[in-house]
């Protein structure tokens, strides 16, 4: 590949985005016989899978432009419980055994479609007074990340088999699907967290175009 380019990666689960970048950087640098600059254009949580756009060489200067693009996710929300991190890696708390109807669920999805105010998770990479929110949260500090305006262009119900809700979300940059799950859980009075998350598209780029790390000779 051209070392001044973009690389579409299908990120595996249980790996940080920075881990993906480090592995790809090592392989590309070995192939080029010199250090190749590699950066990401937006992280995926360790538990999440799917499309990452990596920028290499001179294209790294355009990383921010890629990070501002719309994204599509497929996610599984688990009703009846909450998570301290909004995902399976946090402390899980039972909230309710109530089983919302499909109509109630569709009403919740409509409620959170369009331009909305969202509070990103405390366990996120957003900076609060110069420090990453997740570092403050892990140290036991109370963290309240400011609300932000985001746009949910569409929120489609793919399947509902209590307690699991599978959705497809087309969202603007800066949207946290973990927060979306939590907000829907509050609306339904059941609690909810994001149990599975996969990014399937970033603007015109699709997960079908992405390569596995193993295709680059990288063990995941």
For the annotated catalytic residues, the residue numbers are 45
- What sign does the CA torsion over 191, 42, 209, 23 have? negative
Q: Which residue has the tokens 């890629």?
A: 66
C-alpha span between 167 and 154 (Å, rounded): 10
Omega of the bond leading into 163 within 30 degrees of 0 (cis): yes
> Which pairing describes strands 6-11 and 211-212: parallel, antiparallel, or unpaired?
parallel
Asked if residues 77 and 185 have their Cβ atoms less than 8 Å apart, the reply is yes
Read out DSSP for 108-154? HHHHTSEEEEE---SSSS-EETTEEHHHHHHTT----PPPEEEEEEE
């Amino acid at each position: 590949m051209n070392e001044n380019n973009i690389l579409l990666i299908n990120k595996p689960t249980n790996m940080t985005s920075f881990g993906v970048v480090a592995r790809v950087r090592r392989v590309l640098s070995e192939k080029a016989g010199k250090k190749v600059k590699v950066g990401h254009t937006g992280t995926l949580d360790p538990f999440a899978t799917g499309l990452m756009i990596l920028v290499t060489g001179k294209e790294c200067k355009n990383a921010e432009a890629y990070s501002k693009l719309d994204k599509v996710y497929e996610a599984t929300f688990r009703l009846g419980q909450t998570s301290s991190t909004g995902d399976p890696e946090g402390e899980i708390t039972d909230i309710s055994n109530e089983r919302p109807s499909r109509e109630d669920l569709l009403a919740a999805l409509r409620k959170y479609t369009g331009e909305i105010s969202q509070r990103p998770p405390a366990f996120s990479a957003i900076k609060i007074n110069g420090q990453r929110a997740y570092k403050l949260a892990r140290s036991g500090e109370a963290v309240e990340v400011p609300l932000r305006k985001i746009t949910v262009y569409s929120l489609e119900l793919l399947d509902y088999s209590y307690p699991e809700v599978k959705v497809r979300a087309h969202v603007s940059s800066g949207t946290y699907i973990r927060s979306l799950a939590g907000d829907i859980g509050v609306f339904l009075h059941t609690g909810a967290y994001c149990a599975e998350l996969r990014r399937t598209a970033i603007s015109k780029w699709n997960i079908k175009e992405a390569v596995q790390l193993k295709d680059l000779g990288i063990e995941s």
